[in-house]
Amino acid sequence: MNNTMGENQDKNTLQKENMTKMSERDSHKKRESFHFNIHLILLTAIVLVIGFSAFRLYQWNKGTPSDYDPNYQTTDFDIEVMDNLIPLAPDKREGYVDDGITTILCLGDDPFSLERGENGLAEQIAKKTGATVHNGSFTGTTMAAQFASYNDGYILDAFSFSYVAKSLASGDFDLMKTASTYSYDENFAKTTQMLSELDMNTVDMICIMYDGSDYVNKRPCDDPNAPYDAVTYTGALRSGVKAIQEAYPHIRIVVMSHTFCHSIGEDGNFQNGDRADLGHGTLSHYLQKERDATMDVGVSFIDNFYGSINEDNYLDYMTDYIHFNDAGREVLAQRFADCLFPDRETP
């Protein structure tokens, strides 16, 4: 009996040992399987990272399609046009008797003076606005005077803007009439006579436009210490406008800026006016100073430098480095009409 019980105990012990060994083997296999799965996951992750990086590198080297078309052309301007249109204050016309006819006086140089026929700038303005237009321009003149005081050795100063404006304001044209007798251009005497006979009380608007002649002739652009000095571009503009405003407050004054142009270098070649500084700034510098001056005296400003004839299109509208053809004058007249008479139908 005791032997039988001992045998049973030995069997039970053996079974437990066998079960323990089997459990240990299973546990060992599970650990090995777990380690294998971790390694496989890590390896897979590394492969994915390497593959993704290689794909991104390929895409970066390949680049992305561009919408740029080298043959595309546009007439749009990247720079905003700097017009500044100021209506005449109502109190300036108090007591003024309007004759019912819109009358414009044009003052300036070559843009108005070189062509006085039906294709002229003044004539085009008349056509596009329906106004009566008088052409008071003088060829080869500038906004600024050459000398601080007038001398007979340089008669063109008598026809620079500040001198003309002051003659209009005072009604004294003796200097202009005398100087015109020395001019080889018969239009100087004719235009001076017309201005002296013009009733300024019938004039509703004055349009002032000089081309880049002040820049080309190296007239000083501005003197902060003498803002009304007639030998500077902006000083002449301020002093001339002020004289007219004081004499005829009912007249609305509009300044049309110069356009793009070239100067001629010492080697005889054209120099881009927006890049070449001839001593007092580039054309765009003169433009900004002119605009500032018009704001100082409270008159309207039409920007032709960016808004009409520019570096991109000047070949279509100019005959040489500075002068306009018929198409150019038509563009300038249309710009004036669009800015000042926007509701009028163009013929």
Query: Which pLDDT value is given to residue 344?
Result: 80
Helices (H), the chain: 2-62, 110-113, 121-129, 161-170, 174-180, 186-197, 213-216, 233-247, 283-297, 304-307, 314-317, 326-340
**Strand pairing partners for 108?**
137, 209
**CB environment 185-199: b (16+ within 10 A), e (fewer):** eebbeebbeebeeee
Asked if residue 14 belongs to a domain, the reply is yes
My answer on whether 3 and 121 are in the same domain is: no
Question: Among the listed ranges 24-33, 181-190, 223-232, 305-314, which one has the minimum average pLDDT value?
Answer: 24-33
My answer on whether 209 and 158 are in the same domain is: yes
My answer on whether 145 and 222 are in the same domain is: yes
**Distance from chain centroid for Cα 142:** 23
Query: Which pLDDT value is given to residue 19?
Result: 57
Asked if residue 84 belongs to a domain, the reply is no
My answer on whether 147 and 218 are in the same domain is: yes
Asked if residue 74 belongs to a domain, the reply is no
The mean pLDDT value for 319-334 works out to 98
Asked if residue 82 belongs to a domain, the reply is no
Residue/partner pairs of 284-289 with CB below 8 Å, 24 or more apart: 285/221, 286/212, 286/214, 286/215, 286/221, 286/233, 286/258, 287/82, 287/257, 287/258, 288/82, 289/221, 289/222, 289/233, 289/234
Say how many CA atoms lie within 13 Å of 219 toward its Cβ.
Answer: 30
How far apart are the C-alpha atoms of 174 and 319, rounded to whole Å? 35
Asked if residue 346 belongs to a domain, the reply is no
The mean pLDDT value for 286-293 works out to 98
My answer on whether 121 and 225 are in the same domain is: yes
> Does 128 have pLDDT greater than 80?
yes
Asked if residue 80 belongs to a domain, the reply is no
Averaged pLDDT score across all residues of the chain: 87
My answer on whether 151 and 117 are in the same domain is: yes
Residue 44 banded pLDDT, cuts 50, 70, 90: confident
Q: What is the CATH number of the domain that holds 292?
A: 3.40.50.1110
Asked if residue 77 belongs to a domain, the reply is no
> Does 139 have pLDDT greater than 60?
yes
SS3 label, residue 89: coil
My answer on whether 56 and 160 are in the same domain is: no
My answer on whether 200 and 264 are in the same domain is: yes
My answer on whether 53 and 153 are in the same domain is: no
My answer on whether 102 and 148 are in the same domain is: yes
From the CA atom positions of the chain, what is the Rg in Å?
A: 42
How far apart are the C-alpha atoms of 108 and 207, rounded to whole Å? 8
Query: Which pLDDT value is given to residue 27?
Result: 56
Asked if residue 295 belongs to a domain, the reply is yes
Residue 46 banded pLDDT, cuts 50, 70, 90: confident
User: Which of residues 190 and 32 earns the better pLDDT score?
Assistant: 190
How far apart are the C-alpha atoms of 106 and 193, rounded to whole Å? 15
How far apart are the C-alpha atoms of 130 and 123, rounded to whole Å? 10
SS3 label, residue 257: coil
Contact by Cβ (8 Å): 182, 155 = yes
How far apart are the C-alpha atoms of 121 and 316, rounded to whole Å? 16
Domain limits for position 52:
1-65
My answer on whether 133 and 4 are in the same domain is: no
Query: Which pLDDT value is given to residue 17?
Result: 55
| The domain boundary residue, chosen from 65, 80, 114 | 65
My answer on whether 264 and 175 are in the same domain is: yes
Q: Work out how many domains the chain is built from and give that number.
A: 2
Residue 34, sorted as left (phi over 0), alpha (psi -120 to 50) or beta, turns out to be alpha
pLDDT tens by residue, 76-123: 445 789 999 999 999 999 888 899 999 999 999 999 999 999 999 999
